[in-house]
Amino acid sequence: TVSGAPKIRAMEIIEELEPTKRGPYAGAVGYISFSGNMDMCINIRTVVVSRHRAFVQAGAGIVADSNPVYEYEETCNKARAMMKAIELAEQGLE
């Protein structure tokens, strides 16, 4: 659902249109413990910190009847929440 369907063509289009690699965004994140427990999720809201810089990635689920304006607003709201978390972390607030 994150890259679209048909899968191979959707990934080719993403490669053509997006200027940088997605990194961990839209991939699986989780753990498998030594006792056999597992917890996984799709990484759809992401902050990657590298060399004292934070990179924020967010997206929305676009389907046939999606309203582009609402989807854009949803994406901005998701990113805004992460930007606020970064701001608070920089201020040393918990």
pLDDT digits (tens, 9 = 90+) for 10-39: 889 989 998 988 788 888 889 999 999 999
pLDDT for res 56? 94
Contact assessment for residue 46 and residue 25, using Cβ atoms and an 8 Å cutoff: yes
| Contacts of residue 31, Cβ cutoff 8 Å, sequence gap at least 6 | 38, 39
pTM above threshold 0.85: no
Pairwise CA distance, residues 79 & 12, whole Å: 25
